Structure 1
Amino acid sequence: MRKNEKAFWLSLRASLTVFMMFFAFTLMAQNVTVKGSVKDQNGEPVIGATVKVAGAKTGVITNMDGEYMISVPKNATLEINYIGYNSKTVAVDGKSQVNIVLNESSTELNEIVVTALGIKKDAKKVGYAISTVKSDELIKTQSPTLGTALYGKAAGVDIKTAPGGAAGAISINVRGLSSITGTNQPLVVLDGVPIRNGEANNSDYWTDQRVNSNGLADLNPEDIESISILKGAAATAQYGSEGANGVVMVTTKNGKGGKGVGVTFNASVTGNFVAYMPEYQTTYGPGAAPQSRISSGADAYGFYTRNGSGRNGLTKNEYKYVSGTSYWGPKYDGSDVLYYDGTVRKFNPISSNPYSNLFRTGVDQQYNVAVTNSSDKGNLRFSYTYLNSLPNQYNSTFDRHNFALNGTQNILSNLKVDYSVNYMIENVKNRPYRMYRLLCNFAGMFGAFDDINYIRNSAITPSGYMNRTWNDNQQYEADVNSGYEYGFSSKSGLVDEYLWNIYGKTQEERNNRLIAKVAPTWDIMPGLSLRASLATDYTTNKRENKNSSDKALGFGTSGDYSLNQYRYTIIYGDAMLTYDKNLTNKLNLSAYLGWSGRRETLWDQTSATNGGLSVINWFNLNASSSKANTNVRELRMLKTAAFGGLTLSYDNWAYLEGTLRNEKISTLYKGNNSFWYPSVNASILVSELLKEQKPAWMDYTKVRASYGIVGLAPEIYKATIAYNQQQASGYIYAMQPNDLGNNEIKPERTYEWEFGVEGRFLQNRLGVDLAYYTKTVKDQILSTTTAWSSGANSILMNVGEFQNHGFEMALTGTPIRNKDWNLDLRFNIAFNRNKVNKLAEGVSRLEHKNWDNGAAYLYSEVGGSIGDIYAYAPKTDDKGNTIIDSDGYIALTDAPVKVGNVMPKYTGGFGFNLSYKNVYLDMSLDFRKGGSVLNLPYQYLMGRGSLVDSNKWRDAANGGQTYYLDNDNNVVPATSAPAGKVLYDDGVIFDGVTEDGKPNTKMASAQRWYNWSYNWGTGAPTYYSHSIFDNTYVKVREIVIGYKFPKAICDKIHATKLSVSAYARNPFYIYKRMPIFDAEATDATSWIEQSWIGGSSVTTRSFGVSLQVGF
């Protein structure tokens, strides 16, 4: 019975299946499946357009490529609608392919933005802030990297590029800090794929002296269509533990647009000129201060005389000379003096900018050719860019080849494949060296009487060894003596080392990077599609350091050779199912569900000679005098996530979206490595809600709000407790490190609210975008001290918390728009404040930096802001008067006090584009208000009397007063000196009061004041607060003037476009508070190392010309 019953049900199910199939085929016989695309007048896809049968309540929505598929009666009429475009109806007439072009409404502007996971959306429907920079903004001055092209173009986004041209790193900070001690660099996503970026140049200047790059600098601006910067937590929540610092979404160019084959060619030549270097005083030469001249062996004017014969027979005892590393010596008077090299020269300044002579004018040549093809079967774009750069540093070269292939292939009517390949080959010889040892060490400083060209040209002896100008070369080289006749003394040690690093040491580097993706999309049925992608970011780096032997082998081994091979691999994959359905004629539902996984592997091997080279300049590991050393490092990380999102839209004016991501990280403890990241955002299009009732001046207005939670995971293995292998008495044992990890560590978490308003008014002549955000960052990962009984100094813990809040405003305007003239304006400004709520238990202050053995500190304090600078400062009384000590000098505080904070009060940018017929002028600037910076070169160079600022009070012409020194070396104001005494004119009476509150009348020596107060360390009267500056500036970033040839001329050469332009990058400052140096002269990506300026490579202003032609 049971067997027959089972057979019955099987028979019934089969019958029902056949019936349903018959019914479905009957319906299908009555309908046809229509597919096609919806594009605008420029051939760009219209995403999210509604395609439905005229009069029907529901339909389908176009996908990210503007494509749709719908089942309709074969004689139906399609109705296509989209905000910002005029509606359109098209008869099907039995066709299976219907492509539609929508015309833009005269009063509304449509903009497509790229959001998380590479999902393209109409900007009007997004409930959070996104800043987008288009292709033409990135390449108008032919910048070799993205960093210099992004300055001031996005509100709340702070850009810094390391000096060093195309070889320098790029630092991006979005909405202030998201971590106190961790990285603050955003995640970079290229065509939907997270790629390698990273930190750079944050190490000590005494270790790694070269200016290095990071991953973002590899991307070629010529291949980029747009950059969207996702700022808030709701925008970045789908990136989980990497979303806290914002996300930079980079979309590359493709072949979509016009039909058929197209070719474009761009060429540019740019000169990079040394700029913003210290300005030296040219009144006084080298030597001791007047009060110390006689005791040092000089005459009262500061000149020395020779006794005995000089080297190489250069006696010349009849000539005077000057000596010393300070510039408190005699005035330049044009008299004959014996120079350091033994020649007789006039005592005149050689250069007011000696450091500039260490460098040459750099030249960048960049050429790009791109081929596009578009048809009904798909599209593609292939591009090749060659950049050849002659860096400003001598004996250095740089070239880069970028290949890009991007396209879409339609395999079936409902199956397509997107693909992209970006391949970079980079060859670098001698990355730029930092100048820290020349600017921040008294033994390495130059002055106006130093002949830099001579020093540079004689850096290597005729035998090819290091020229030791501070010593007798004969101890190393019997036949050659290129040492100075009169020494730089210890100064030349660092000078010669710097020049030997450039000319005697060669670093050859070759980078290969492949970023590739394949992403099929299957339209399963109307409204339902499946997208998957598989991608890689594969980098190899080979770096050889060939450090020449600096002396003959008979004097001992020298030189060395090392080979570093580096491989970084990212394998990324994801799959996402999307569903879109009009539930009613007003209510639409969109949803997606997906999974992603990313595996990162680092392999790094360094092999180096040991004890010098056994054969002069044989750069091979076999030349190692002792056994060569080899170190290998390998890191692995796997990150997987399940994610989803749901969007409801009502009547094209109300939108609500929620997302959720669950993420697992392999480098955290197994029971503590799964985390949830939710977000929600909503927007209301007021202009659509009002419809016919909206004011005539309102084109589009939206209010939005969002909330999200994102994270920041610790560095790979940072949370791991690793044991070090040791050996003693033949036994091998494991020993824990002094700084412990923690298996319970979890990612830092950011909780952020954002509210905003945006709109377009007056027929799109005025645009406004306002945003306010507040976020709390919890579970900061900090090293906390632990009991000595644990065997370690510190342990990693989730203990810190701080808050950020800020306001952003972006304005656009077109005050002039007519047949011949057009003027577009753009302006943005961003404010950000932070407050430290707590640190580790019992800790109220976190030290980030200690300069010069306690002369100044960088702190974060509970109840205060991140990045407070503390230093000794002038002591004041309760009325604010400066207290002057008994010697006439400024008295100092007993302990360091807060003198500034490194965070700016606000930042922003301004620009315009003015065109008259075919001529255009484009200019952009950016600005920064506040934010303190410690200028160490200023501190030291002022103490040596080298800078123009040190002339103040130095003599009567510069405000100095006259005095003489009594027998106890006290300053005695006088207009004439007694017999046997010298009258000095560098006296100064500092404004202030004495300890008893009386006005100060005590005169002091200005030269002694400079030499003592602008010095190194903490001993009074030395102090650093007068070298800590408000880093406010307004800088013109780009100026472009160009001409677009009219169509009649283009037609004669069968071109579709032809234009030429001249441009300038970083041409000048309109305003700058900080003396000497570029206000951005830092090469670090860490905010801690950006808090001071002290010796990066040279900065430049650039001028160039470019040609663009298309066929």
Structure 2
Amino acid sequence: MKQKFFTFIGLSLFSILGIFGQDVQISGTVTSMSDGLPLPGVNIIVAGTSTGSQTDFDGKYSISAPQGAVLQFSYLGMRAVERTVGSETVINVQLEEDADQLSEVVVTALGIKKSRKSLTYAAQDLKSDELTKVKDANPINSLSGKVSGLTVNRSSSGLGGSVKVTLRGNSSTRTNQPLYVIDGIPLSNNSSYQPNNAFGDFGGGNRDGGDALSLLNPDDIESMTVLKGASASALYGSQGANGVILITTKKGKEGSFKVTYSSNLTFENAASLPEFQTEYLGAAGENNAWNGGKGASDDHVEDFFNTGVTAINSVSISGGTEKAQTYFSYANTSGSGITPSHKLKRHSLNFRETAKLFDDRLTANANITLSTQSIDNKPVNGLYFNPLTGLYLYPRVGGDSFSNYENTYETFVPGNIHPQQNWIFQEDIQQNPYWIINRNQSDDLNQKLITALSLQFKVNDWLSFQTRGSYDRTINKFEKRLYATTEATLAPATGRFIYRETEDTQLYADLIATINKDFGEDWNLSANIGTSITNSKIGEGLNLDSGVNGGLRVPNQFIVQNFDSNFANSFTLAQTLAGKREQQSVFASTTLGFKEMIYLDLTARNDWTSTLSNTDNNSFFYPSVGITTILSEAFELPEAISYAKVRASYAEVGNDLPAFVSQPQFSAPFGQGAFIQSITSVVPLKPELQKSTEFGLEAKFIDNRLGFNATYYQTNTNDQIIPISTPTSGQGLTQTFINAGNIQNQGLEVSINASIIRNDNFEWNSILNYAVNDNKVKELRSELAPDQDEVILTDAVPSNINYRYIIKEGGSFGDIYAQTTERDANGNIVLAADGTPVNGGINLVGNANPDWTLGWNNSFEYKNITLNVLVDARFGGEVLSITEGYLDERGLSQRTADARNAGAVAGSFVNEDGTPFTGTVDPQAYYTAVGGRQGFTGEYVYDATNIRLAELSLGYRFKLPESLFIKSANFSVIGRNLFFFHKDAPFDPNISASTGEGLQGIDLFSQPTTRSLGFNLQLTF
């Protein structure tokens, strides 16, 4: 009986094993979850065996495995997936991107790819979807709040405007914009014009000439890597003092061709306007609302602005074989701003071809990018050429209506052959807003061409050579037509025509040898040595202007041939010479790794630059050294700590001299037969030198679900390039430059990322970016200029606007000085005998830079639904509103109405002799003294703290049948700058009057910030 029982058990087990031992032929398709396209080259392994397969060109595979076996699907950059073999013969799999894997390799200086754990400095990167979920016409705006230590200030010129990016604070009296590098090649990003005072020039006003970055197609960007400090950017030498932003663009991938179409449509409206009063009127013939008595008026300001519309449509084609891949894209951006007649059109083409030749030893990469952009009537800020000046200062005269001036902005007067401007009164700073829009027209045209070729030859497993070359050309054209009867300060009686054209070109080439070799089991050497040359020409072009005093022979005929030759001394016909610069460099970098645990990083660069001619220095050397230790590899850490790393680095980088600074500049005034030397260098000059030290700690916890990255840094930028006045000595010399000064920045950056919830149906990821920076001007004086303790970046005092933007020894970059009322020790305003405030002089009233910044980005995914929320916050700092001062002076602000209703100005006051003031302060007398052009500008300073909902995206990913020609479809509702959780200032503190140096934190009839709401559709075929 026992023998039969064991025989039965044996036969049963044999049968069961026989069933599981039967191999099943499995086939299927592996696709990407993000776009539904097939993935070639996916590895499929039968777990526990050596049996494996790989997907083909169309993502298809076939493998034999027994029932009950586990198939493991893996692909670089994707999360691995396991499937158990059952009775089915078809197993289709979708793989999704693994952020942890993608972040293991990072692009660094000169386009060199490194393992993230080997980095000895701070670098933060963003992938394409993080930049395009809530798309902006200028992709750089999408960085705000997403990178610690990086601040973005948008120009107030609205749609098509430029941006100012600052990394780790301002450090230079010249420029603080980072270097932008596309696919390893530096980008020429010069702005043709940026305002630097209250008015701008009398030809263009405070015009924003735009920048090259705004011409980029956001959908062409694969990723951005931000190299924040000198250690990260040391290989760029005299170009790297302000940090570097590396932009990697998309290229074709192996596999069947896919077509991606993206459509983004948003609607914008004014999000922040001054608070106007509507209960007091102005008297006839007066430019204020003080003397017309009580009476309701319409709020014409809000009615003036339109609903802006921006449409960004792009299509790309990508694919190829194992040997050659192609990427082509076209993007069209069209929009209208909130200001009437403000329109933008942009076209972008990008073609890229990648090929592998000679048994895959040679990789060739060629691309061409062409962008063209036209903007009609780009808004300006400031007092002149600005429709908001007249719009805001319209005095609300009884019996008169602002609507009368909309359709009748011009009228015909008997005896005149051309129409004349119709406005309530004459004043140099303002005109009929609709006259400015229709009869002070401007056109901006920007064109950019970038061509690049890269060849990489692999000699063997550890040695390769790469050479790259590029040609970068930017053309900017500006035209302004001022019709007859435009305000006489700006144009003569017959009108005025202005045309400006500039061309910037840059040629770049480099040659780099790369070594990557293991020595035994413990050591690895990764080294690069190379040379580069950059040749640039900036600002070559034409400047044509019929002038303020001359004008046109025939009114309103805007051609150069119509310039009035009777006023040749008044018009301008000039060719501008290019600022030429050539830089030749050699560089090397070495990373020595021990057991993937300790890494030593050394870099060196030597620059020879043409801007050093006529100086005692023909070149400069820029070194860096860094070390990092992976603590989790070196020590046994608690189980909760998945990864830990410490790093330290020191570097020296520079900021090159501007063209012509070390060479005499000449001018040939009209009617004089000789050149006059105006600017020269009488002392040796050298580039600004920044010395930087940083320490960092990185850690991951709970199986990499929680990440922490902190960096402390200190930078000292010495040898600032400072202009000083020079006695002419009869030779025409007016100015020279010296090296002096030391500006220090020290701060802390912290990034925390967490995968809070992750399961089959729901995922919640959160990223927090925090940064604090302390800026000090340690020194400005030098032996050559012992009394030079300040540099004035913007001076509006000569224009009677009474503020200055000053870099002063002992102060901080961004300090704002303005005229204030005199106050006693208790802060009470001192009043003169006539009841108006006593002048307290020009004093420090604030600093335009925030004390600390915070960005909090959350992404939620439930099945096919996604939600992304970005909160962007800045704490501290001050801003100044000249607009509010003007509104007070004219009696147009709600503040003045409240005071009139109360019968007196609220506040604490004392008499000039120090005795308590017991009377009442008359609102009209007080505000006409405090506000306006010659008023106490320092009384209009506000806390710049603001917290906003910066981005919102709610999307749905559609599940589509495999047989459908549409492979994937994603639809999302998007919003940008939707509302403020907190804001003290009467305008958006993050909007700048200029993206140059000197007008941050200043509101001078600036265009209001906008909120946008719309949708995005993405289809893949």
TM-score of the pair, normalised by structure 2? 0.84
- Over residues 581-632 of structure 1, what are the superposed CA-to-partner deviations in whole Å (9 max), with x where a residue is unaligned? 1112110111111010111124312345574444454443333332785311
Q: 2: CA distance between counterparts of 1:599 and 1:365?
A: 37
SS of structure 2 residue aligned to 1:124: helix
Distance 1:899 1:126, change over 3 A: same
Structure-1 residue corresponding to 2:68 = none
The yes-or-no answer on 1:808 pairing with 2:749 is yes
Preserved contact between residue 168 and residue 1083 of structure 1 (Cα < 8 Å): no
Structure 2 SS opposite 1:732: coil
Query: Alpha carbons of 1:448 and 1:1072: their partners in 2 closer, same or farther (altered >3 Å)?
Result: farther
Q: 1:705 aligns with which of 648, 654, 671?
A: 648
1:722 aligns with 2:659: no
Change (3 A) 1:85 1:931: same
Distance 2:627 2:76 in 1: 18
Letter in structure 1 aligned against 2:722: L
**1:395-436 superposed Cα distances (whole Å, 9 cap, x missing partner):** 343211111122420112211102222111223333234353
Q: Does 1:263 align with 2:269?
A: no
Indicate the residue corresponding to 2:693 in structure 1.
753
* Contact 2:793–2:997 (Cα < 8 Å) also in 1: no
Matched, 1:1034 2:956: no
- 178, 181, 190: which one pairs with 1:198? 190
* Cα distance per residue 1:532-588 (max 9 Å; x no partner): 01111122344444444559xxx9972344544432211110000111111121101
Q: 1:1016 to 1:387 in 2, by over 3 A?
A: closer
Q: CA deviation at 1:665?
A: 0.9
Counterparts of 2:789 and 2:128, CA distance in 1: 47
Query: Which residue identity lines up with residue 589 of structure 2 in the other structure?
Result: G
Moved more, 157-166 or 521-530: 157-166
Structure 1 residues 156 and 768, CA gap change in structure 2 (3 angstroms):
same
Conserved? CA contact 1:927–1:1032, under 8 Å: yes
Q: Are 1:273 and 2:281 an aligned pair?
A: no
The Cα of 1:223 is off from its aligned counterpart by 0.5
Q: What do the CA deviations read for 1:820-873 (whole angstroms, capped 9, x no partner)?
A: 222111111111112222213233333333334473333332223223333344
* Structure with larger Rg: 1
Amino acid at match of 1:569: T
CA drift of 1:889 comes to 4.5
Instruction: Give the secondary-structure state (helix, strand or coil) at the position aligned to 1:393.
Output: coil
**Which one-letter code corresponds to 2:347 in the other structure?**
H
Specify the code of the residue in structure 2 equivalent to 1:326.
Answer: N
Counterpart Cα distance in 2 of 1:44 and 1:1045: 19
| Paired AA for residue 748 in structure 2 | F
Cα offset, 1:899, TM superposition: 2.4
CA offset at residue 41 of structure 1? 12
Could you tell me which of 342, 347, 350 is aligned with 1:401?
A: 347
Partner of 2:168: 175
Q: Which residue of structure 1 aligns with residue 588 of structure 2?
A: 644
For residue 370 of structure 2, what is the aligned residue in structure 1? 423
* Pairing 1:2-151 to 2, within 5 Å after superposition: 110-151=103-144
Query: Residues 681 and 734 (structure 1 numbering): CA distance in 2 closer, same or farther, change over 3 Å?
Result: same
Specify the alignment match of 2:27 in structure 1.
none
In 1, the alpha carbon distance for the partners of 2:714 and 2:414 equals: 68
For 2:118 and 2:40, locate their aligned partners in 1 and report how far apart those are by CA, in whole Å. 16
The one-letter code matched in structure 1 to 2:601 is E
Q: Deviations over 1:1034-1077 (max 9, x none)?
A: 1221111111112xx253533332111111111111111112x2
Contact kept in structure 1, 2:792 and 2:806, CA below 8 Å: yes
Counterpart of 2:719, as a letter, is: D
Q: Distance in 1 between matches of 2:432 and 2:297?
A: 25
**Structure 1 residue 1102: Cα displacement:** 1.1
**Match for residue 684 of structure 2 among 722, 734, 744:** 744
Cα 1:494–1:1050 shift into 2, 3 Å: farther
Contact 2:593 2:599 in 1 (8 A): yes
Matched residue, 2:709: 769
Aligned to 1:979: none
Alignment of 1:919-1068 (within 5 A): 919-955=865-901, 960=902, 986-988=903-905, 990-994=907-911, 999-1017=916-934, 1022-1046=935-959, 1049-1051=960-962, 1053-1068=964-979
Q: Which amino acid aligns with 1:218?
A: L
Q: Which amino acid aligns with 1:623?
A: N
Q: Which amino acid aligns with 2:750?
A: M
Change beyond 3 A, Cα 1:996–1:544:
closer
Which residue in the other structure is 2:7 paired with?
Answer: none
2:627 to 676, 682, 694: 682
CA distance in 1, matches of 2:1001, 2:906: 33
Which deviates more from structure 2 when the two are superposed, residues 662-671 or residues 148-157? 662-671
Does 2:236 align with 1:246?
Answer: no
**Contact 1:436–1:1096 at 8 Å: present in 2 too?**
no
1:459 paired residue number? 409
Q: How many Å apart are 1:275 and its aligned residue? A: 2.7
8 Å CA contact 1:875–1:890 kept in 2: the answer is: no
Alpha-carbon distance in 1 for matches of 2:143, 2:497 = 39
For the Cα contact (< 8 Å) 1:989–1:1001, is it kept in 2?
A: no
- Alpha-carbon distance between aligned partners in 2 of 1:688 and 1:85, rounded to the nearest angstrom: 25
2:368 pairs with 1:445: no
Q: Please state whether the residue corresponding to 2:172 is helix, strand or coil.
A: coil
State the AA in 2 paired with 1:446: Y
Partner SS for 2:654:
strand
* Partner SS, residue 1025 of structure 1: helix
Residues 1:136 and 1:1003: Cα distance change in structure 2 (over 3 Å): same
Contact 1:883 1:890 in 2 (8 A): no
Task: Report SS of the residue matched to 2:849.
Answer: coil
Tell me whether 1:188 sits opposite 2:205 in the alignment: no
Change (3 A) 1:559 1:873: closer
- Contact 2:234–2:240, Cα closer than 8 Å, also in 1: yes
Alignment CA distance shift 1:1065-1:117 (3 Å): same
CA deviation profile, 1:927-950 (whole Å, cap 9, x unmatched): 111222221001111122211122
Q: CA deviation at 1:722?
A: 1.9
One-letter amino acid of the structure 2 residue matched with residue 1031 of structure 1? A
Further displaced range: 881-890 or 745-754: 881-890
Preserved CA contact (<8 Å) 1:160 1:170: yes
Aligned CA distance change for structure 1 residues 401 and 857 (closer, same or farther; 3 Å): closer
- Extract unaligned runs of 5+ from structure 1: 1-39, 47-80, 88-101, 288-321, 334-347, 464-472, 961-985
When residues 705 and 1106 of structure 1 are mapped into structure 2, their CA distance, relative to the original with a 3 A threshold, is same
The CA deviation at 1:814 is 2.1
C-alpha displacement of 1:794: 3.7
Taking the aligned partners of 1:439 and 1:529, their CA distance within structure 2 comes to 59
1:630 matched to which residue of 2?
A: 573
Q: Distance in 2 between matches of 1:506 and 1:743?
A: 46
Partner amino acid, structure 1, of 2:874 = R
Match of 1:915 in 2: 861
Q: In the TM superposition, what is the alpha-carbon distance from 1:439 to its structure 2 partner?
A: 8.5
Hey, what's the Cα distance between the residues in 2 that align with 1:799 and 1:1005? 49
Cα displacement (A) at 1:754:
0.8
Question: Residues 104 and 278 from structure 1, CA distance in 2 versus in 1: closer, same or farther, beyond 3 angstroms?
Answer: closer
Instruction: Mark the CA change 1:285 to 1:1052 in structure 2 (over 3 Å): closer, same or farther.
Output: farther
When the two structures are superposed, what TM-score results if normalisation uses the length of structure 1?
0.77
Query: Partners in 2 of 1:132 and 1:45 — Cα distance?
Result: 26
What's the offset of the Cα at 1:727?
8.0
8 Å contact 1:557–1:614 — kept in the other structure? Answer: no
Contact 2:512 2:530 in 1 (8 A): yes
Contact 1:128 1:704 (8 Å CA) reproduced: yes
Contact residue 442 and residue 940 of structure 1 kept, 8 A: no
